[in-house]
Structure 1
């Protein structure tokens, strides 16, 4: 079965490609390389022994998307990761986020509707909940006004898919609302490799630990949490990747009673920013240079998942601890730096 993975050279996308190939799927990656490198393909090959097909394509190009689907008429499913994903950046560049994250989804759905049957796994986010009233957050929690344009694009994206599923029973879709993916593949052949300044906490921590960054800024120290810093549900990226394969199989095997379903992906445990920093210090054996700074707009105070639905309905459960995920992230960071030193 041919499965298209948009944004498949990115962090979560590349790990999902590995899991798909290991389950016997034929994978076709689509990526515009705006925040990824084609070298990631070599890492995937090193793990799986198989090179996935790859086409460079910007999904904002509607004509290009149509030509792609005309060329590949045997697509059985799409896992859609391609999107801008930084909360802070989305506040500064809202139009870029609305154009990129929503137009691309519309163009994909227009093409998927032309297929005899269409299976879509959508990369959603816990940001759809905003600042939830109760913890842990269940899938039935109200979707509040988004705290950022990024979060809003995920809310609207789910609405677009839901509205399309209502008028087209051929379209079978699952939105996976994941919390905070981190870590790297245990082989250290692939991992999170942001271009420029990292937008996520963990790569900023590991880059600071490796000496690339002078210090880590912790945004806000007086939130109503265990230690005054924001709390998130950090989940190993391999656990997230495996969930995408499980969700895809659910659609392909017609086990879904509704043609649009949503599931939380998390560990069910919240960790503060300082707790994540202390995890790094434990696994690396070194102190991290960080400072407390002012809060930033768009940040939710606390968010961690109730994963009961994913555990019971999908039969999926996160396996790795925070320290295990952090250890893999640090191993990946060290490998990157060692490689750069050799090249240099």
Structure 2
């Protein structure tokens, strides 16, 4: 199957490209490189022996997308391209609505024009807002607490409305929790430009000496140690979830919604201590005020994905932190310049 992967040089997109190639699919990557580097394609080729076709451009550019769909006979789209920093979204909401919402609507318009009717959308557990209970099931109420989450929720609602009006389409919404880890080769991992917005890449950069210490946002939540609890899922497990959705759902018309998580929550300090054990060094940190838009506790009930997709996360916390440390220690400056 020829799969257009938007945001395919990004963290999750690049790992998904590897899994696509290894399962016999052909990824075609588009990315504007606003938060990734073209060098990632070299790493994908090192791991798999195959280099994905790549076109640099923005999903908000209709002419660019028309060219992509004309150039390649696309069977399905996996849509990762989007901005993802909660804190930045609070400061720059219009930037997030423009990129995440307008960009997705433009992509769907061009898919429709090209008669490509299968879409897997990279959504987020943030669409559940501050849940009244955990673990979170797919039928829980949705109510985002920040513009990033709201942009994902708006897109979900737009896609559901569109699919209802176009019943031959297959649209899969994958709500994933907190991706961490790296490819076991140590060749690919998370390399955010600027200051990391997510926990583990920040911890890794402290461990390798790029940053002085970690800021822990809040230690007064109603959790076992007062720090926020999240469902951390290995990025390769997450990529495998996309492959399972592609295999099972791409040819099934309808809107399909799945949580991708482990079903287990870990606190910020638990993650820090696990990383210290893997890296065999201490991670200095300081407690800071809570961050706008954050919630206390969030982890998945992944039963539905297991039942329908036959997918389950298999990599444990130790593997997550060991793979992250292998990536960061082998690439102290990430992908470099």
Question: Do the aligned residues in 2 keep the contact of 1:112 with 1:171 (CA within 8 Å)?
Answer: no
Question: Do the aligned residues in 2 keep the contact of 1:116 with 1:170 (CA within 8 Å)?
Answer: no
Q: Distance in 2 between matches of 1:339 and 1:61?
A: 29
SS at match of 1:281: helix
Alignment of 1:234-249 (within 5 A): 234-249=232-247
Q: Distance in 1 between matches of 2:84 and 2:230?
A: 16
1:54-80: CA deviations, max 9, x gaps? 0001112223222322333x1100000
Task: Give the aligned partner of residue 5 of structure 1.
Answer: 5
Task: Give the aligned partner of residue 167 of structure 2.
Answer: 169
Task: Give the aligned partner of residue 158 of structure 2.
Answer: 160
Q: Which aligned runs of 4 or more in structure 1 are off by greater than 3 angstroms?
A: none
Task: Give the aligned partner of residue 325 of structure 1.
Answer: 320
Task: Give the aligned partner of residue 67 of structure 2.
Answer: 67
Q: What is the CA-CA distance between 1:282 and the residue it aligns to?
A: 1.2
**Bigger mean CA offset, 53-62 vs 5-14:** 53-62
Q: Distance in 1 between matches of 2:4 and 2:115?
A: 16
Q: What is the CA-CA distance between 1:27 and the residue it aligns to?
A: 1.0
Number of corresponding residues = 337
Q: Distance in 2 between matches of 1:228 and 1:339?
A: 31
Question: Do the aligned residues in 2 keep the contact of 1:230 with 1:273 (CA within 8 Å)?
Answer: yes
Task: Give the aligned partner of residue 107 of structure 1.
Answer: 106
Q: Please list every run of 5 or more consecutive structure 1 residues that lacks an aligned counterpart in the other structure.
A: none
SS at match of 1:24: coil
Q: Please report the TM-score for the alignment, with normalisation by the length of structure 1.
A: 0.95
Alignment of 1:1-344 (within 5 A): 1-72=1-72, 74-144=73-143, 146-252=144-250, 254=251, 256=252, 259-337=254-332
1:217-238: CA deviations, max 9, x gaps? 0000101101000000000000
SS at match of 2:75: strand
SS at match of 1:124: strand
SS at match of 2:90: helix
1:118-177: CA deviations, max 9, x gaps? 110000000000010111000010012x11100000100100110100011222110100
Q: Distance in 2 between matches of 1:297 and 1:309?
A: 31
Q: Distance in 2 between matches of 1:247 and 1:339?
A: 30
Q: What is the CA-CA distance between 1:327 and the residue it aligns to?
A: 0.5
Q: Distance in 2 between matches of 1:339 and 1:231?
A: 27
Q: What's the C-alpha RMSD, in Å, of the aligned pairs?
A: 1.5
SS at match of 1:113: helix
Q: What is the CA-CA distance between 1:296 and the residue it aligns to?
A: 1.1
Q: Distance in 2 between matches of 1:298 and 1:250?
A: 34
Q: What is the CA-CA distance between 1:110 and the residue it aligns to?
A: 0.7
Question: Do the aligned residues in 1 keep the contact of 2:6 with 2:30 (CA within 8 Å)?
Answer: yes
Q: What is the CA-CA distance between 1:339 and the residue it aligns to?
A: 8.4
Q: Distance in 2 between matches of 1:102 and 1:33?
A: 18
Q: Distance in 2 between matches of 1:33 and 1:115?
A: 24
How has the CA–CA distance of structure 1 residues 339 and 238 changed in structure 2, closer, same or farther, with 3 Å as cutoff? Answer: closer
Q: What is the CA-CA distance between 1:338 and the residue it aligns to?
A: 7.9
How has the CA–CA distance of structure 1 residues 160 and 84 changed in structure 2, closer, same or farther, with 3 Å as cutoff? Answer: same
Q: Distance in 1 between matches of 2:189 and 2:116?
A: 33
